[in-house]
């Protein structure tokens, strides 16, 4: 590639960052519409909770609501930081926070952020208003970012990355042994989470731990069944890789929407461990549930690594990964190894799905959303390398969480995917991939 081309790419990427950065800083306040029934009064109101950058409520802050320059009402935040101002009717209002009442070192994150114009209140709605408060310093680059928040995001990122990692290992192993990019891998995640949900709710009401173990079995069985019933016959018929890739996409669509029919479109939570008080460990807060999940995810990763290095089947997997023909010639039952890889990958994806469901929510699209992050992790780490998949996924988890330091949380996944595209640009073989010819 010529230097000119590289320069052009760099310029485009830089331009995107420059455009995005100030836009991210001056973002609109999030407006949450609460249905009328949820509020005690049927009439319109605006309400909210004022918290400092560490998410602690702020008491005694005055909030004033005006319309066309005339004051409509005001309120002072209570001990929980909550406030509410009843309104005469629907319409557009301006909500102002009294900066003078803020403690030292706390100020609106964006300049002029204490005044929110054009807060639209629909008939009967109790409109939520959020003031985004920061440390008062204008955030430029790395300066002025509270260390505590960074640490918190690092912890969240590691947790998220570890969950992606255990799901991505299967994707990577399947690719390594069969060269198939399994587009349906995300569905194993969803199937695992949904299975555990059905087992742990009525009428079974199994404890979630047991349900998770059974979900792993189901995930492994589904993946193994797909291998035996679909992929093996296709390979026997000498189907091309692109042909199988497209079949995998069809399978992904089919499974995802079968789950949707059975499970419904609503997001669900597991009954157990859904609400927990977070532990405060120094500057970082984490719920016992999330801590256990993170530790378990790492334990699973270590177990997979030990299996790959120390056991016969693990050695066989690596051999097939390196050179299928050579492995076959040296007496390894390649078909059996591939089957084990599918079952293992399916089971790992299923438990990853349960973890994801526990920390976030269970919904039919969860697997597909995770799939793109898995791809990002796998490519970042190096296609076909199981350890690369783990490392890459951790990085992707961290990137997506840390991006919320500067950018809206709704774009967290976007940054993870962008990192993948940039990696393809500068180091297509990934962090741990072998430097073979990929293009």
The residue within the footprint of other proteins, chosen from 36, 148, 239, 431 (CB under 8 A), is 239
Binding mask 338-377 for other proteins (x = CB under 8 A): ------------------------------x---x--xx-
Say whether residue 30 binds other proteins (CB under 8 A): yes
DSSP string, 55-123: S-B--S-EEEEEETTEEEEEEE--TTSEEEEE-SSSEEEEEEE-GGGSPTT-EESSTTTTEEEEEEE-T
Q: Which is nearer to other proteins, 143 or 261 (CB)?
A: 261
Q: Which residues pair with 65 in a beta bridge?
A: 73, 95
CB-side neighbour CA atoms (13 Å) of 411: 15
**Closest approach of other proteins to the CB of residue 80, in Å:** 26
Nearest distance, CB of residue 230 and other proteins, angstroms: 8
Give the C-alpha separation, 400 to 408, whole Å. 11
Separation CA 307–CA 169 (nearest Å): 13
Residue 109 near other proteins by CB under 8 A: no
How many residues are recorded in the chain? 439
Contact stretch for other proteins (CB under 8 A) within 39-47, 236-244, 296-304, 341-349? 236-244
Least spacing, CB of residue 438 vs other proteins, in Å: 5
**CB of 290 vs other proteins, minimal distance in Å:** 25
Cα distances (Å, whole numbers) of residue 115 to 50, 68, 98: 14, 14, 9
Burial of 157 per CB tally in 10 Å (0-12, 13-18, 19+): buried
Among 99, 89, 98, 76, residue whose Cα is nearest residue 120 = 89
Residues 148-167 that bind other proteins (CB under 8 A): none
392 touches 378 (CB < 8 A): yes
- By CB under 8 A, is residue 3 in contact with other proteins? no
* Segment near other proteins (CB under 8 A); pick from 43-51, 72-80, 119-127, 248-256: 248-256
> Which residue, 38 or 261, has its beta carbon nearer to other proteins?
261
Confirm or reject binding of residue 295 to other proteins (CB under 8 A).
no
- Judge whether 320 and 188 are in contact, CB under 8 Å: no
Concatenated DSSP letters of 116-172: EEEEEE-TT-EEEE---EE-SS--BTTBT--HHHHHHHHHHHHHHHHHHHHHHHHHH
Interaction residues for other proteins, span 10-29 (CB under 8 A): 12, 20, 23-24, 26-28
Q: Is 245 in the site for other proteins (CB under 8 A)?
A: yes
Of 109 and 256, nearer to other proteins (C-beta) is: 256
Angle (CA) 386-390-395 rounded to 5° is: 140
Q: Is 253 in the site for other proteins (CB under 8 A)?
A: yes
- C-beta separation of 30 from 116 below 8 A: no
Applying the rule CB under 8 A, the residues between 393 and 412 that interact with other proteins are 408, 410-411
- H or E stretch at 11: helix 3-25
Nearer to other proteins, 115 or 239 (CB): 239
- Give the residue, chosen from 3, 4, 5, 147, that forms a contact with other proteins under the rule CB under 8 A: 5
Contact residues toward other proteins (CB under 8 A) are: 1, 5, 8-9, 12, 20, 23-24, 26-28, 30, 181, 234, 239-243, 245-247, 249-258, 260-261, 265, 368, 372, 375-376, 379, 383, 408, 410-411, 413-414, 417-418, 420-421, 424-425, 428, 438-439
């Amino acid at each position: 590639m010529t230097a000119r081309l590289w320069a052009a790419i760099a310029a485009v990427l830089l331009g995107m960052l420059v455009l995005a950065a100030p836009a991210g800083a001056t973002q609109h306040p999030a407006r949450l519409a609460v249905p009328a029934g949820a509020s005690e009064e049927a009439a319109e109101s605006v309400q909210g909770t004022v918290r400092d950058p560490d998410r602690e409520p702020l008491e005694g802050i005055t909030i004033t609501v005006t319309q066309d320059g005339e004051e409509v009402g005001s309120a002072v935040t209570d001990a929980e930081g909550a406030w509410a101002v009843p309104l005469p009717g629907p319409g557009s209002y301006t909500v102002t926070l009294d900066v003078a009442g803020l403690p030292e070192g706390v100020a609106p994150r964006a300049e002029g952020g204490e005044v929110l114009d054009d807060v639209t209140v629909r008939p009967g709605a109790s409109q939520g208003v959020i003031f985004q408060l920061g440390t008062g310093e204008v955030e430029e680059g790395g300066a002025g970012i509270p260390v505590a928040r960074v640490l918190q995001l690092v912890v969240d990122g590691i947790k998220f990355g570890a969950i992606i990692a255990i799901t991505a290992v299967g994707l990577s192993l399947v690719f390594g042994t069969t060269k198939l990019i399994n587009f349906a891998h995300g569905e194993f995640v969803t199937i695992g989470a949904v299975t555990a949900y059905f087992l742990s709710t009525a009428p079974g009401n199994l404890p979630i731990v047991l349900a998770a173990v059974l979900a792993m079995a189901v995930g492994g069985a589904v993946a193994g069944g797909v291998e035996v019933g679909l992929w093996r016959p296709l390979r026997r018929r000498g189907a091309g890789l692109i042909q199988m890739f497209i079949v995998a996409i069809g399978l992904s669509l089919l499974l995802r929407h079968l789950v949707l029919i059975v499970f419904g479109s609503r997001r669900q939570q597991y009954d157990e461990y859904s609400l927990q008080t977070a532990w405060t460990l120094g500057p970082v807060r984490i719920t016992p549930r999330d801590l256990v999940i993170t530790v378990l995810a790492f334990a699973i990763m270590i177990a997979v690594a030990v299996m790959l290095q120390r056991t016969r089947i693990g050695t066989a997997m690596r051999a097939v990964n390196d050179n299928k023909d050579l492995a076959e010639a040296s007496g390894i039952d390649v078909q059996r190894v591939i089957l084990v890889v599918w079952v293992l990958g399916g089971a790992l994806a299923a438990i990853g799905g349960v973890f994801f469901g526990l920390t976030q929510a269970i919904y039919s699209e969860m697997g597909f959303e995770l799939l793109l992050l898995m791809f990002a992790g796998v490519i970042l780490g190096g296609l076909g390398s199981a350890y690369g998949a783990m490392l890459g996924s951790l990085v992707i988890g961290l990137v997506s969480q840390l991006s919320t330091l500067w950018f809206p949380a709704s774009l967290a996944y976007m940054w993870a995917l962008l990192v993948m595209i940039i990696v393809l640009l500068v180091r297509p073989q990934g962090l741990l991939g072998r430097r073979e010819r990929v293009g």
